Amino acid sequence: MSYIGRQPTVGNYTKIDTLTFDGSTVSFTLQTGGENISPVNENNCLISISGVVQEPSSAYTVAGSTITFTEAPSASDTFFGVVFGDALNIGTPSDGTVTTAKLSSSWYHKNNQSLTSISFSASENALLAGPVTVSGTITIPSGGTLVIV
């Protein structure tokens, strides 16, 4: 496909599997390739029923992997839908824009430290940056991660 300007580098546009309507059901599971997908919200979706684009929040809502229409589409209606972007694909943050406050609560950060020992649980990750001196024991349980840069 041709682009004017730079080709987009992030954003996973996903075609939603066909939904089959029965005239009475209003809630359906959104899937791609048989796997459930969870758009950020209905504004991340383009939904068309029998060629008519539906208005987000007014004609349908999305919660998790479930789309709920305000009225049941008729059994003869056809479906086409696309999810714009991937909630997990944010691209690469700019240099200096991610702080420890933005990281998981199971993550801690030390910079330019002298430590007697380091110990953390299996569900935690740690980063040591800059000049770091450890005069005691470093304990890294299975499942934990320690990165020293």
22-81 pLDDT, tens digit each:
999 999 999 999 999 988 889 989 999 999 999 999 999 999 999 999 999 999 999 999
* CA distance readout (Å), 66 to 14, 61, 69, 128: 15, 8, 10, 42
Distance of CA 61 to the CA centre of its chain: 18
Confidence check: pLDDT of 117 > 60: yes
Domain boundaries, the chain: 14-83, 100-148
The predicted pLDDT at position 92 comes to: 74
Specify the pTM: 0.54
What pLDDT, on the 0 to 100 scale, is given for residue 57? 95
Distances (CA, A) of 47 to 26, 30, 34, 52: 14, 11, 18, 8
More confident call, 83 vs 102: 83
- Supply the pLDDT for residue 134: 76
Of 42, 80, 82, whose CA–CA distance to 61 is shortest? 42
